[in-house]
Amino acid sequence: MKNGADARRLFWPLALAWIGLDQLTKRWAESTLLPYEPVTVAGEWMRWRLAYNPGAAFSLHLGPYSRWIFAGIATCAVVGIAWKARDVDWNEWLRQFAAALVVGGAAGNLVDRLRSGAGVVDFIDMGIGPTRWPTYNVADIGVSCGAVALAISFWLEDTRREREAAVQQEA
């Protein structure tokens, strides 16, 4: 979207849509699933299983104040990335898309931390037999995929700048 279009217009609609999707799926999980009772979705490798995570990714826990520590970290991430997404040098569709996913995901999990002391609602359980990935949610997908896409966007920018510098040196 470099040809005159402002890619920054993608940021808030996508971030808000991701928060909405996350909250909708979490409310569905809480109203439909029993805590820690798996429901088969696609064979053994994918199940729904309602769980509450009072910590962070991979059940990282920092003691009795984990909820507030991680809420503070999420708030800083949401504000910092949303602020940076306003910059002209971030006016590129992949970077805006990636930033919106990270912000939407972080904000979705922040809502859970503020809403309940039980923890973040997780319900997607993948693995084979006893070998399972930690249970996660739509917000986690946004944070993870957004972070990877953000890294790719920075790598692409570095590659483009290196090419431009090489062309200028040849001239």
Residues known to be catalytic? 122, 140
Question: Dihedral of CA 130/141/107/111: which sign?
Answer: negative
The total of other beta-carbon atoms located within 10 Å of residue 13's CB is 10
Closest CA to 20 of 94, 113, 111, 119: 111
Residue with tokens 């699933």: 33
The pairing of beta strand 131-132 with beta strand 46-53 = unpaired
What is the widest separation between alpha-carbon atoms in the chain? 67
